[in-house]
Chain A
Amino acid sequence: MTDILEAPAPLEPPSVAAPVKQSRRKRVRQDPVTITLIVVVVAILFFLVLLPLGKTLSTAFSDKGLATLSKMFTSPVNRKILLNTVVLGLLVGTIGTGVGFLLAYAQARLQWRGKKFVHLLALIPIVSPPFAVATAIITLFGRGGIISKQLLGLNWNVYGLGGLTVVLALSFFPIAYLNLLGMLRSLDPALDEASESLGASKWQVFLTVTLPMLIPGFAASFLLLFVEAIADLANPIVLGGDFTVLASRAYIAIIGEYNLGAGAAYSLVLLVPALLVFIVQRYWSTRSSAVSVTGKPTGTIKLNTSNVARVPVLIAVGLVMALIITIYGTVILGGFVRILGINNEFTLDNYRYLFGGIGSDAIITTTLLALIATPIAGVMGTLIAWLVVRKLRRAAGVMDFLGMLGLAVPGTVLGIGYAIAYNSPVDGWGLRFLPALAGGGAILGGAMAIVMVYIARSIPAGLRTGIAALQQIDPAIDEASTSLGGSGLTTFRKVTIPLIRPALLAGLTYAFARSMTTISAIIFITTPQTRIMTSQILSEVEAGRFGNAFAYCTILIAIVLTVIGLLTLAVRDRPDTPMPTPGT
C-alpha cells in the first residue's frame, strides 16, 4: 500500500494544505457503529460458544480427562465404542442419504400426484422431538411389539445397531432430502436436454448427467448425516441397549459416574469429526459455483412419466411414507391409550397427568424459553450475516465460522461445556463477569443458560438464511443508502432488515423447532426449577411410561406446528411491496 507521503508527485503541489493526517492508513474504514457492533457480536459469541467450548477442551485435557483420552484407542472397551460410533455413522449416512435422494428424485423428476403431501410428511421428523421415533419403534417392533410380535410373531431385538440405524436414518433423512431436492431443482435442464439430443436415453441421462452432477450433494448429505448420527445422544440412551456409542458413553460418565473429565474427553472425540466435516463443507460450498447452479434455469425439466422409473421409485417412497405415518400415528394414538399394544383402552390419563403435574410447567417453560431465544438468535444471526456479507472482508470467514460454531459442534460437547463453564460464576482478573448461569444454584433457576444454548444453536439458522438472502441483494442498494447519508446501522435497520425479513422468518421457524426439540445440549444443564420437555420425555421413557412420553411428543409437535403456522401467516399478511395505485 502506498502511503500518501510516497504518492507519485502530483502535477502541481496540492493546493490543499488540508488537514491530512498522514498517519492514517487504515485499509478498511469502518464507521464507529460498525466497529462497535463487531466487538459486541464477538463478545456475545465468546460467552455463547467459545467459552463453553474452551472449558470442554481444557477439561478434556485435565488429569481426569487425559486418563480417559490416553485409553481411548488402547482399551478394548473404548475401541469397541469408537468402532460402534463409526459404524453407526456410516450406516445412517448411507441409508439416510439414499432415502433422501429417493424422495428428492421422485419430487423433482417424476410425474405423480400427492407431491405436496409427501413433501410435508417427509419434513415431520425435523419438527418432532428426539424420542418420538425411538419410542414408537419400540412399541411397534420391540419385544412385545405390535407389528413384530403380535402381527408377525417374530422375536426381533430392536435394541442395538439395527434399531438405532433405522431410527436415526428416519430422523435425519429430511436433511439429505432438502439438500438434494434443492440441488436437483437448480440443475440446468439444458444439460439434460443436451444429453438427450446427443442420443442418451432417460436412464443414460440419469447415469451420465444427473448422478455425477449430484456427487457434491451426496457427499455433503452423507457427511452431515454422519455427524448428526454420531453426535446423537437421545436415541442411543433409549434404544442402544448394549450398543454403546461415544455420546451415550459421555452421558453415562457425567450423569452416572460424575466424571466430568471423562465426559469431556469422550465428547472431544466427537468434536473432531464434526468440525472436520464442517470445514470440508465450507471448502466445498465456496467452490460449488462450478458444481451445479447456473443461476437461471433456462427451461423447465420434463417430468419422467415412464413406468419403468416410476413404479419402483414410488413403491419405495410409499414404503417410507407408510413407515412415517405408522410411527407418528403410533405417537399420537399412544398418548390416548393406557399402554399401546398391551392395553388399548382409551384414556385421557396421560394428558391429565401432564397438565396436572410438572408437565404443564415444562411445556410452558420450554415454549417460553424457546420463544425468548428465537428472536434474539434471529437478530444475532442476521447481524452476523450482514457483517459477513457486507462489512467484513478478510475477517468475514472467521466471523462466519464463529457464528456457525454453535451448531457445528455436537450438542453434547456444547452442553458439557455449559455445565462446566456456567455452574460457577465466571471470574477473571479479579472481576466477576457473570454469576453462575447453569445448574440448580444459578440465577433464574438455570434458565439463563438454557436460553443461551438455544440461542447458540439457533444463530446458524438465521445466519445461513441471512447470508443467502443478503447475497441476493445488489450491494448497490446498500451503497445507495450510504450515498444518501445512511450510516451502517441506519442502512441495516431501514434497508437490510425489511428486505430479508421473509427469509429470516423462515430461518427462525426452523430455529424455533430446533430449540424445542433439542436434548443433547441441554440435558446436562436442566434443573428441577427449570424443566424442559425433552428431558421430561427422556425420564418418562426411561421409567417406561410410554403413554406420557407419547402425550408429551404430541403436544410438542402441536406447539411447533402452531408457531410455524402463526409465523407463516405473519409473513403472508405483510406484503413487501405496496399495492399498485389503481387507475395509473
Chain B
Amino acid sequence: MTDLAAAEKLLDNTTASGTLRLRGLTKEFGNGADKVVAVDAIDLDIEPGEFVTLLGPSGCGKTTTLRMIAGFEDPSGGQVTLDDVNMIDTPPNKRPMAMVFQSYALFPHLKVRDNVAYGLKIRRTPSAKLREEVDLALESMNLSALANRAPNQLSGGQQQRVALARAMVMKPRVLLFDEPLSNLDAKLRERMRIEIRTLQRHLGITSVYVTHDQAEAMSMSDRIVVMNGGRVEQAASPDIIYRQPASVFVADFIGRANFLDVEKETSTQQGRARVKVLGHSVDVPAHPDAPAAEDVVLLLRPESIRLKAVDTRAGGGLGGHEGRVLFSVFYGDHVEYEVETEHGTITAVVADPNVDAIHREGDDVEVSFNAERAWLLPRTRQPG
C-alpha cells in the first residue's frame, strides 16, 4: 500500500539518520514517600537506521522513556543525545524528531492535506516546495485521494497513514512511535506492521517504537528492549530475546514458556551446563550467570517439546520421563497439550498435527525435547 518510490523521493537522501544515545536516563514522579521511579537510569545506544522497540508490561516506563526522548517529559536525571548533541535543554518543538501517537492526534479542524502540511508551514517552507513535499508524503502513504477529507471521515487505518505521513514529511532524524497500532483491528494491525517496517527499512530512519504487543516487537524490530519496573531487562535482537532470554521475566513475557525446576550437575564448558531433567542427564546451553547461580530453571518453549505415545500393552517400565496428558486441545493448525510430569505441568505444542496421532486426555506419553533449544537460567536476576 505504501509507495516506496514516493517516500524515497520525499526524503531524497537529505535526511541523515541520527544516532540516539540515552545515558542514565531517569524519571521520578512525586516526592518523598510518594516518590515513584518510573524510569531508572536507562542506558541505550541506538544506531542510525536502527529500529528499536521498547517492550514491556504497562507501567514499565517504556512510554515515559519515549516521551523523554521526544522532550514531552523532563528527565529527573541523565542525558538524551542525538548525534552527540545533548537534547535535554532543547524544547520538543526544536528536536529533529517526529512522533506518531497512539490516538493519531490528527488535528480535527484541519483537512488531511493541512494536517500533513502543518509542520512545514510552521517551518515556513516556501509554498511551492511545501506543496510538492506534501504531495509526495500523501502519495507515499497512498492518501492522495483523501487529501481533502476531514480526519473524522477516515477509517482508523487511513488516520494512521495520515499520522505517519505527517511525521515523515518533517524528514526527522528520529521517528518515534507510541503504540501506534493499538487502536486498529487485528488484520489491519498485521498489515500496518509490515508497511511500517518496509518503509522504515527502506528509508533507513532511526526509529524508536513503544508497544506492549510482543508480536509487533518480534516482527518489526532490529532490536527489542524489554523493560520492567523502569529498568532494561534485556536489549537484543528478537531471536536472542526469544532463544536466550536474560531473565525469567523476559522468557515469560516473550512467547510462552515452561520453567522446569532442575538440578545442576556440572558446568561442562563456557555457556553450557549439564542438568538432570526428565530422568536424563542433559547438556544444555546456559546463560552466563547460570553456572554460578544457586538456583536455576530450565526454559523449554512449548514447541520444542516432543511427545510420543507409550505402548502400555507392552508393559514396559516407565522410565521416569513419562507424562500423562491432562488436556488436549485441537486448534486446527496445532495441538496444545498440558502434560503432567515429575517437573510439574508443562505445556507442549505440536504444529501441523496428524489427526490420528493426537494424544487423548489420560494418555501416557514419553516426553522429550531438543536439548539445543533449551536454555538454563538463574531463577532470580543477578544483581548488577
Contact = CB atoms under 8 A, between A and B. Distances in A.
Interface of A: 1-4, 6-11, 14-16, 18-21, 24, 26-29, 31, 474, 476-477, 479-487, 490, 494-495, 498-499, 576-578, 580-581, 584
13 contacts: A2-B26, A2-B77, A2-B78, A4-B78, A7-B78, A10-B24, A20-B79, A27-B74, A479-B92, A483-B99, A485-B93, A486-B122, A495-B107
A474 B84 contact: no
A577 B76 contact: no
A28 to B, nearest CB: 7
A480 B81 CA distance: 21
Interface in B161-194: 163, 166-167, 170, 176
Contacts of B105: 474, 476-477, 479-480
A193 B354 CA distance: 53
B166 A577 contact: no
Contact of B150 (A24, A28, A29, A578): A578
A324 to B, nearest CB: 39
A10 B149 contact: no
A31 B43 contact: no
Given A2-B28, A484-B119, A498 B109 contact: yes
B150 A577 contact: yes
Overall SS of chain A's interface: loop
A13 to B, nearest CB: 9
A560 B98 CA distance: 48
B370 interface: no
A4 B101 contact: no
B111 interface: yes
Contacts of A28: 74
A480 B148 contact: no
Indicate the member of B71, B81, B93, B97 with the most A CB atoms within 10 Å. Answer: B93
A24 B89 contact: yes
Contacts of A10: 23-24, 43
B220 interface: no
Interface in B11-30: 21, 23-24, 26, 28
A7 B81 contact: no
B85 A484 contact: no
A572 B154 CA distance: 24
A584 B146 CA distance: 8
Nearest to A18: B86
B148 A7 contact: no
B88 A20 contact: yes
B23 A576 contact: no
Contact of B102 (A8, A476, A481, A580): A476
A483 B96 CA distance: 9
Contacts of B33: none
Contact of B119 (A4, A26, A485): A485
B57 interface: no
B99 A480 contact: yes
Contacts of A24: 88-89
A193 B341 CA distance: 51
B77 A479 contact: no
B216 to A, nearest CB: 19
B91 A29 contact: yes
B330 interface: no
Contacts of A481: 107, 118
Contact of B98 (A476, A484, A576, A581): A484
A576 B109 contact: yes
Contacts of A487: 91, 93
B107 A480 contact: yes
A141 to B, nearest CB: 52
Contacts of B275: none
Given A8-B41, A482-B92, A487-B93, A1 B77 contact: yes
A16 B106 CA distance: 36
A4 B77 contact: yes
